DNA sequence: GATTTCACTAAACACTGTTCAGTATATTTG
DNA sequence: CAAATATACTGAACAGTGTTTAGTGAAATC
C-alpha cells in the first residue's frame, strides 16, 4: 500500500516543518523566547500538535542540537584536508573558534545549555553507529588522531593523545564560552576575537617541541 | 534619632534573610527550582515583598553571584601564599578547579549563567573600588601577576602576561564547564576529575622553558 | 488624637510547558 | 455504498513562572 508510505512521509514533513520553525525562532530570538506556542503560531498549528511529534521541549531542542553538530562536522572537513598534523591542529582550532563566533546560539546549545542533555538521559540507543553524538564524536576523533600523529612524528611535548585533545578542546571551548556568556567583560578584554586567535597560537607554540 | 538607624538595620536584615533563603534554595534545588514564590514561602512573606528589596530575579541572583566570588577569592588566598611563581601558577589552577568541582552551582552562576550578567547591564557603578567584580578581578590579577613574574624570571615560554592568563583561565574554565554541563559524556571520559588534573599539569609543563 | 508614612499583601496579568477529552476527517471493513 | 474504526488535530484546562498594583493596617510624626 502507498497510503502508509505517504502517511510516513507526511509525518516526516510535519516534523521537519516544526523543526525548521523552531530553528528559525531559536536563531533569531534565542532559547527563552522560543516557546512551544511561538513555534505553533509560526507553523499555524495548535501547541498540542507539537507534542505529537516531539516528546517535550528538551527532545525538540536535542534535534536542533543534532543539526548543529552536523554543521560543525561539515566545517571541520576543511581542517581534515590539511596533511601536516601540526598545521592541521592549528586549523582545527581556528575552525572551532570560527564556528563558535559565527554560530553562538548553536554553539551554546551544543556545548553549554542543559536542555539537550536532559533529553539524552532518557535514551538508551547511544553507542551505536547512528549515535546521537555521531558528528560530535567524529570531530573529536579528528582532534585525537591529529594529536596522535603529532606525537608519532615527535612534533609536540605531549605524551598522551587523549589528554592533549582535552587540553586543546578546553582552551578553545573555554574561550568560546567566556565570549558567548559574556565573561570577558569581567576583565574588560578589548578585541576578544583577535586575542582568542593569539592565545590559540600560543598554545600550539608551547605544545611544539 | 535611633529610629531611622533601626529601620535601616531592619531593611538590611530583611535583605539578608531573603538572600540567605535564596542561596539555600539555589544550592539545594538549583536555579530553575528557586522561584520567587519558593523564596517567599521559605521566609514566610508574600512574593511581592521580595520586590521591595530586589529589583528583579536577575538582581537577586547577581547578589548570590557576588557571594560566590567572595568564596573563590578566599580560596585563592591559599595560592597567593606560595612564593615560587611557577608553583603558584599550579596552585592557582588546582584551587580554581577544586572550587568548580566542589561548588558547581556557584561556579555555574559565576561563570556560565546568563542571569547575573543581565543585571549587570543595567548598572553604571562599575570600575569603582566597591565594584561588582571586586573579588573576581582580584583573583584574575593574582593570575596575571603570577604569569608576569614567571615571564620576568624566564620561567615560561609565553611573551605576554595577559594572553598567558587567558590561556590558563580558558583551560581550567573550559574543563570546569565541560564537567559541570556534562559534555565529557560525549567523549565517554572516565574519571574526569583525575584527567583534569593531568591536563593542568601538562599545560604548566609545556608552558615551562 | 489626627495625620502621614511605610512595610506588606491579595489579587491579577501575561506568560510558560504540558495533558486530555473531544472532534472532524480519512481510511478500512462489512 | 454505508458503518466502523483509526488517525490528526485542537480547545481548554492545569500548575507553574516573574512581575505589578491597588489597598490595608500598623508604626511614626505632627
CATH code, residues B1-54: 1.10.10.60
Query: Which residues are paired to A156 by β-bridges?
Result: A208
CATH 1.10.357.10 occupies which residues in chain B? Answer: 56-207
- Say whether pLDDT at A202 is over 70: yes
Strand D bases near protein CB (under 7 Å) are 7-13, 16-22, 28-29
Furthest-apart CA atoms within chain B: distance in Å:
66
pTM: 0.94
Least CB–CB distance from A158: residue in B175, B177, B202: B202
pLDDT of residue B130: 55
What does the pLDDT read at residue B7?
Answer: 77
CA angle B164, A88, A81 (to 5 degrees): 155
A155 touches strand D (CB under 7 A): no
Q: Chain-wide mean pLDDT for chain B?
A: 94
Task: For chain A, give the number of residues.
Answer: 209
**Nucleotide with C1' nearest the A7 CA:** D7
The per-residue pLDDT of chain A, averaged, comes to 93
- Please report the DSSP string for A99-142 in residue order: HHHH-HHHHHHHHT-SHHHHHHHT---TTSTT-TTHHHHHHHHH
- Looking at residue B1, its pLDDT comes to 58
B48 in contact with nucleic chain D (CB within 7 A):
yes
Residue that the C-alpha cell 578542546 belongs to: A169
| Average confidence (pLDDT) over A35-47 | 97
Question: Picking from A20-24, A63-67, B115-119, B130-134, which range would have the lowest pLDDT averaged per residue?
Answer: B130-134
Which CATH architecture group holds B56-207?
Orthogonal Bundle (1.10)
Residue A64: C-alpha distances to residues A18, A58, A59, A113, B27 (Å): 11, 10, 9, 12, 30
- State the span(s) of chain B assigned CATH 1.10.10.60: 1-54
Distance, CA of A83 to CA of A88 (rounded, Å): 7
Contact B195, A148 (CB under 8 A): no
- Is the pLDDT assigned to residue A124 strictly greater than 90? no
Give me the residues of A, 15-74, that contact B with CB < 8 A: none
3-state secondary structure A168-197: HHHHHHHHHHHHHCCHHHHHCCCCHHHHHH
Cα angle value B107/B109/B111 (rounded, 5°): 65
Rounded (10°) CA dihedral A89, A91, A97, A103: -130
Q: What confidence tens digit (pLDDT) does each residue in A5-29 have?
A: 777 888 999 999 999 999 999 999 9
Predicted pLDDT at A125: 53
B41-77 pLDDT, tens digit per residue, is 999 999 999 999 999 999 999 999 999 999 999 999 9
**Per-residue model confidence as pLDDT tens digits over A144-154:** 999 999 999 99
Name which of A193, A7, A199, A35 is nearest A104 in CA terms.
A193
Average pLDDT over residues B165-178: 98
pLDDT at residue B188, as a whole number? 95
Is residue B150 over pLDDT 50?
yes
What is the number of residues in chain B? 209
Bridge partners, B148 (sequence order): none
Amino acid at each position: 500500500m502507498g497510503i502508509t508510505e505517504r502517511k510516513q512521509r507526511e509525518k516526516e514533513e510535519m516534523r521537519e516543518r516544526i523543526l525548521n520553525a523552531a530553528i528559525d525562532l531559536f536563531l533569531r530570538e534565542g532559547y527563552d523566547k522560543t516557546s512551544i506556542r511561538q513555534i505553533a503560531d509560526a507553523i499555524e498549528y495548535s501547541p498540542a500538535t507539537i507534542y505529537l511529534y516531539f516528546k517535550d521541549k528538551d527532545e525538540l531542542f536535542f534535534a536542533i542540537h543534532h543539526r548543529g553538530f552536523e554543521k560543525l562536522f561539515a566545517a571541520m572537513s576543511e581542517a581534515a584536508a590539511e596533511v601536516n598534523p601540526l598545521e592541521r591542529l592549528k586549523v582545527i582550532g581556528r575552525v572551532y573558534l570560527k564556528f563558535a563566533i559565527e554560530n553562538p546560539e548553536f554553539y551554546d546549545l551544543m556545548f553549554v545549555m542543559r536542555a539537550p542533555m536532559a533529553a539524552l538521559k532518557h535514551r538508551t540507543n547511544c553507542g551505536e553507529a547512528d549515535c546521537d553524538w555521531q558528528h560530535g564524536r567524529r570531530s573529536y576523533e579528528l582532534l585525537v588522531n591529529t594529536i596522535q600523529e603529532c606525537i608519532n612524528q615527535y612534533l609536540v611535548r605531549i605524551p598522551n593523545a587523549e589528554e592533549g585533545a582535552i587540553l586543546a578542546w578546553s582552551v578553545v571551548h573555554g574561550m568560546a564560552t567566556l565570549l558567548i556568556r559574556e565573561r570577558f567583560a569581567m576583565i574588560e578584554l578589548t578585541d576578544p576575537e583577535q586575542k582568542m586567535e593569539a592565545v590559540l597560537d600560543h598554545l600550539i607554540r608551547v605544545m611544539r617541541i
